[in-house]
Amino acid sequence: MNAKKISPELASKIQNLRREIHQSPELGNREKNTQKIIFRHLESLGLRPKTIENSTSVVVDVAGSTTGGFVALRADMDALPIQEETGLRFTSKVEGVMHACGHDGHISMLLGAAELLVENPPPLPVRLIFQPAEELGTGAKQMIKEGALENVKIIFGGHIDRHHKPGILVVSDGAVNASGDMFKISISGQGGHGARPHETIDAVVVGGLLVVALQTIVSREVDPAHPSVLSIGSFHAGSAPNIIAGSAVLEGTIRANDSGVRDHLQNAIKRIANSMCDLHGASVDVDFRPITPVLNNLERPTSMARSAAIQVVGQDYVKELTKVNMGGEDFAYFLDHVPGCYIRFGAQVAGRESYPAHSSQFDFDESALGIGALWFDTVARIAGKKILEE
């Protein structure tokens, strides 16, 4: 299956790193021990990783055969507030925290690529970016502020994916991850006695009608050719069964793979919330919290990523997305500044196909680690060569 393979020694090292990181997961912006593990490995290769004060990020430059800017490779670091239930021998030792999205694998892949790049210098210098707080949607923006993209010409990243079997690399141009926004709708009515509803403005009724009305935005206002999602995740109101609630708070998320659709969803939520509350005499406040923009792979870097994938696993194992991924990914912020491509590493575990990312029983096939390390190494070489030729 593989057109290229890493040595058994490096494969074992990457696997051990993944398991060490998996056992000590840390939430976003708290990845101090993870940072120490990364520093330890990079320094053992003779590299000089750096961070800034009070940050959990890691950046290190690997010298190339020449100069002329950097090819950047990125891995995310943070875990999730989930109690692990996988039963793995190397299960999380931290109560209520788990690597349930494969970030432990991403770190290990990039550390493996670091070793390959040091052994055989690439055409252009390579910057390795280990990013905290991806799950919070803030880590990429912070690293950009820290200067992680200074003199970077192109950037690549990827994500472990349990939808695809081990050995498959998924490479597509265009929108590959949706934008993500959270919203909060605060309704103010007039509370009162449950026996005298005519003296009140019932925030529960207004909120309930609003939940139903908001569902018509995607079904009746958005072109079906542009996938989008609007979900209400929480509805809080009331304090007792015989008291009519004077206030209610709805919270939810919207996802879109087109920036115009994203704008329309936000405007429609405001319009419908205001109209519904006006209809019933209530007041309303709608607040949006942007998490990530649409992640758009450009054609040129995607071509490089695909060439690297073919070299690593062979043409037959390189696939394209068959449907849009509506999950958000803050790698998109890097692509707002430099061209790049984000791919997916097939890592499905037989018998565990039904456990998605962000599940307490999420796991992935560790054969993806070596493939990921090779792809990172290969794409850095291909991109560096292409940039020097231009």
Answer yes or no: do 157 and 90 share one domain. yes
Answer yes or no: do 86 and 119 share one domain. yes
CATH number, domain containing residue 230: 3.30.70.360
Residue 151's pLDDT is: 97
- Pull the structure tokens for residue 190: 């007039």
Residue 364's pLDDT is: 97
Residue 1's pLDDT is: 55
HSE on the CB side for 378, CA within 13 Å? Answer: 21
Task: Report in angstroms the alpha-carbon separations of 338 from 108, 149, 167, 176, 257.
Answer: 24, 8, 28, 17, 19
Tell which of 231, 257, 292 closes a domain: 292
- Pull the structure tokens for residue 239: 């304090």
Domain that holds residue 149: 8-175+294-389
Answer yes or no: do 60 and 94 share one domain. yes
Answer yes or no: do 29 and 120 share one domain. yes
Which DSSP state fits 348? P
Tens-digit pLDDT profile for residues 67-112:
989 999 999 999 999 999 999 999 999 999 999 999 999 999 999 9
Answer yes or no: do 166 and 203 share one domain. no
Answer yes or no: do 244 and 156 share one domain. no
Answer yes or no: do 78 and 220 share one domain. no
Catalytic residue among 26, 134, 173, 365: 134
CATH number, domain containing residue 139: 3.40.630.10
Annotated catalytic residue 299: no
Full strand arrangement of the beta sheet holding 228-237 = 228-237, 247-256, 179-188, 283-292
Answer yes or no: do 63 and 162 share one domain. yes
Residue 330's pLDDT is: 97
Beta bridge partners of 184: 251, 287
Residue 193's pLDDT is: 98
The count of domains in the chain is 2
Answer yes or no: do 80 and 93 share one domain. yes
Catalytic residue among 26, 31, 76, 78: 78
Residue 121's pLDDT is: 96
Please report whether residue 3 resides in a domain. no
Please report whether residue 379 resides in a domain. yes
Annotated catalytic residue 134: yes
Residue 2's pLDDT is: 55
Please report whether residue 331 resides in a domain. yes
Positions of the chain with pLDDT lower than 50, given as ranges: none
Tell which of 292, 307, 339 closes a domain: 292
Please report whether residue 304 resides in a domain. yes
Answer yes or no: do 46 and 99 share one domain. yes
In sequence order, what E strands does 150-198 have?
Answer: 152-161, 169-170, 174-177, 179-188, 192-193
Answer yes or no: do 211 and 263 share one domain. yes
Tens-digit pLDDT profile for residues 233-290:
999 999 999 999 999 999 999 999 999 999 999 999 999 999 999 999 999 999 999 9
DSSP 343-364: EEEE-PPTT-TT--TTSTT---
Please report whether residue 235 resides in a domain. yes
Please report whether residue 1 resides in a domain. no
Tell which of 253, 275, 292 closes a domain: 292
pTM (2 d.p.): 0.93
Please report whether residue 2 resides in a domain. no
Please report whether residue 358 resides in a domain. yes
Residue 357's pLDDT is: 94
Answer yes or no: do 234 and 248 share one domain. yes
